[in-house]
Amino acid sequence: MSQITQCKGTEWIAEASDRLLFTTNRPELIMDRGAGMYMWDTEDRVYLDFSGGWAVTSLGHAPAVIRDVLDQQSAKLIHASPSFYNEPMLQFAKLLTDISCFDKVFFASSGAEANEAAIKLARKYGAAKLGGAHEIITMTNSFHGRTLATMSATGKSQWDALYEPKVPGFCHVPLNDLDACFAAISDRTCAIMLELVQGEGGVNIVDESYLYAIRKACDIYGLLLIVDEVQTGIGRTGTMFAYEHYGIEPDIMTLAKGIGGGFPLSAMLTKESFDLFEPGDQGGTYCGQPLAMAVGQAVVQEVIQSRLADNARIQGDYLKRRLQETGEALGWSQVRGRGLLVAFNLPLPCGAELVKRCLDIGLIINSPSPSVIRLMPALIVTTADVDKMLRLLAECWEALYREQQAAAQ
């Protein structure tokens, strides 16, 4: 069982990683353990984590809150089957509907799965209330997941030719372009689906007037407004949910990533009036799984009790201000974001190289596209962490930029 921790070094990686189906390039190291803002590899090198497990480890690495609740719940009941209630399921459903504008929740394990549930509910609604309308309008540069339907909903041009034919019934329009969205609405449309801050798309924020007009159009035409808060939900943007920044209420919201703090968990929430599924229409083996329910409830309670959404807003504002101050001389531009979902642009398309060099000196950051750097640390981040991250990042960037400029001459 402890084979991996016993076999240290890159020799072991080369030998054993061959057995993994190749789907992504991983660096030659093995992540071993974590605590708070840090992770350590099996060689005891330490990494400051400003990618937060991809906006997932909201309470930091290995938090006592999650360790304790896993301990207690796993000693009590790990799995009963989705055909039974369990206590944490009922408590967590009450908590999520108490703190949001929604009345009903469906639990699943991943963001894609929650979005699948939202897509199905929108189609069910279209069939029942809109004479069979089934089309969902989504945004260019959006990201909704990797199942076939959520890939079809995603507005990523690199995926256009992949796994054809796509699931039909999605059309993509540019974000914040009201005319384009209105032009796409037809009698086939049942819903409009969007992220309020596009995460994978490079941290693009939805305009207030745009969302307000879309909400109005949905009301007029009877369409569902679906917000994918898989990345923005549970405190990340400085409020518990990103829709709270806008003074509107969506009809459906999906949550994942930060809600489990690293435990696979997702949720789709909706209003009483869209409670349209019949028994058998939607489900899954792990829907409402007791361990996930107990962890989710503990994570959300901790975000509330420790005011981590406030911390996300305060540290996010500080991070953006420091990026602007430091970045001006370094060629960084377009510092943007909300709370702890922040990005900026590099003057050269060398994001992947910067990520690699930062990793080499013990800093984890993310580059969702070649000229964009995205930062989404745990919600527990402090100003000292931000300062340390900026020192490491600036150091790596200065060296890389100098080399690139010299090579260009």
Ligand X SMILES: *Cc1c(COP(=O)(O)O)cnc(C)c1O
State the residues that interact with ligand X by CB under 6 A. Answer: 110-112, 115, 143-145, 195, 199-200, 228, 230-231, 256-257
- Cβ neighbours of 6 (radius 10 Å): 9
Closest residue by beta carbon to ligand X? 111
Q: Which two tokens stand for residue 281?
A: 């229409």
Q: What residues have CB less than 8 Å from 348, skipping those under 6 apart? A: 371, 401, 404
Q: By C-beta, is 42 or 232 nearer to ligand X?
A: 232
For residue 165, whether the previous peptide bond is cis, meaning omega lies within 30 degrees of 0, is yes
Least separation in angstroms between residue 113's CB and ligand X is: 7
Least separation in angstroms between residue 203's CB and ligand X is: 11
Alpha helices in 135-207 (DSSP H): 148-153, 178-184
Q: By C-beta, is 199 or 262 nearer to ligand X?
A: 199
CA atoms within 13 A on the CB side of 306: 17
- Cβ neighbours of 344 (radius 10 Å): 22
N-terminal to C-terminal alpha carbon distance within the chain: 54
The DSSP-derived string for 2-30 is -HHHHS-SHHHHHHHHTTS---S---S--
Q: By C-beta, is 200 or 251 nearer to ligand X?
A: 200
Least separation in angstroms between residue 368's CB and ligand X is: 10
Contact 173, 140 (CB under 8 A): yes
Q: By C-beta, is 193 or 389 nearer to ligand X?
A: 193
Q: By C-beta, is 111 or 290 nearer to ligand X?
A: 111
Q: What is the CA angle 6-11-15, rounded to 5?
A: 95
Least separation in angstroms between residue 231's CB and ligand X is: 3
Q: By C-beta, is 172 or 257 nearer to ligand X?
A: 257
Q: By C-beta, is 42 or 100 nearer to ligand X?
A: 100
Element (H, E) at 189: strand 189-194
β partners of residue 370: none
Least separation in angstroms between residue 193's CB and ligand X is: 10
Least separation in angstroms between residue 141's CB and ligand X is: 11
Question: Which is nearest to 146 in space by CA: 125, 163, 129?
Answer: 163
The DSSP-derived string for 292-308 is HHHHHHHHHHHHHHTTH
Least separation in angstroms between residue 114's CB and ligand X is: 8
Chain CA centroid to CA 272, Å: 26
Q: Which two tokens stand for residue 99?
A: 């703190």
Least separation in angstroms between residue 144's CB and ligand X is: 5
Q: By C-beta, is 130 or 224 nearer to ligand X?
A: 224
Contact 235, 303 (CB under 8 A): yes
